[in-house]
A and B are shown apart, each in its own frame.
Chain A
C-alpha cells in the first residue's frame, strides 16, 4: 500500500524567512496531494492541493511543487508569519477517497 514520509518533523524559522516541508510517496498511482494545517485543538484544514497533471501551484505565500518521477512533493511558505506556526501534514491519494497522511511537521515561526 501507499506510504508517505514527511520531513522534517520540526522546523523553526525566523519571521519573514521561508519554510520548506518535503514529502515522498511510494505508490505511483497516487494522483492527488493535499496539504493540511492543524492548529492546537483544531482539526486539519486544507491549505493547498495539487493534482498529478500539474507541477506547481501557488496561492499567495504558499506554493506546492510535485515531481512525479521522483515521487516527491514539497510545501513552500514564503515570508513566514507567527500565525503560520502549526503542524502541517501532507497526504497522498489515488483518487479513491483514501488519504495516506505523513507524520506531520511542527513549524515554529520565531518573532
Chain B
C-alpha cells in the first residue's frame, strides 16, 4: 500500500515569491494534516482536514498561508508571499478519521516524507 505522497521534495525560492506544496494521503484516510517542522524541532500542526472541511486551522498564519482539500482527497498548501522565516520542512500526514462518536477515534497518523523549503 502506498504511503502519504508529497511533492515537491525540495523547493528553493526567492523571498516574496509564492510556493505550493501538494499532498496525497493514504487511500481511505479521511483526516489530513499539514505540519511545519523547523530545524531541530518537532512537527507543529498548521491545519487539519476532516474530508474537505478544515476543522482546525488555528495555527495557520492566514495572512500568507492558505490550504485546500477540495474533493476530500489530496490537498495543497500555499504560501504567498514567502518570507525568509518560512524556510522549514512541511509535512503532510493522514489518519483514518473518526469512526464513531461514542468510541475513541483511531487516530494514528502516518507522515509523508515532507517538502524542504528554502527561502533565499
Residues of A at under 8 Å CB distance from B? Answer: 4, 6, 32, 34, 36, 41-46, 49, 89, 91, 93, 95, 97-99, 101-104
CB-based contact A93/B107 at 8 Å:
yes
Min CB gap B37→A, angstroms: 9
Q: With A97-B31, A98-B45 as given contacts, are A44 and B40 in contact (CB-CB < 8 Å)? A: no
Min CB gap B94→A, angstroms: 11
Question: B interface, how many residues as a size bin?
Answer: 20 to 34
Is the contact region of chain B dominated by helix, strand, or loop, or is it mixed? loop
CB-based contact A99/B114 at 8 Å:
no
Residues of B at under 8 Å CB distance from A? Answer: 4, 31, 33, 40-45, 48, 56, 91, 93, 95, 104-105, 107-114
B43, B95, B110: the one within 8 Å of A101 (CB):
B43
Min CB gap A67→B, angstroms: 21
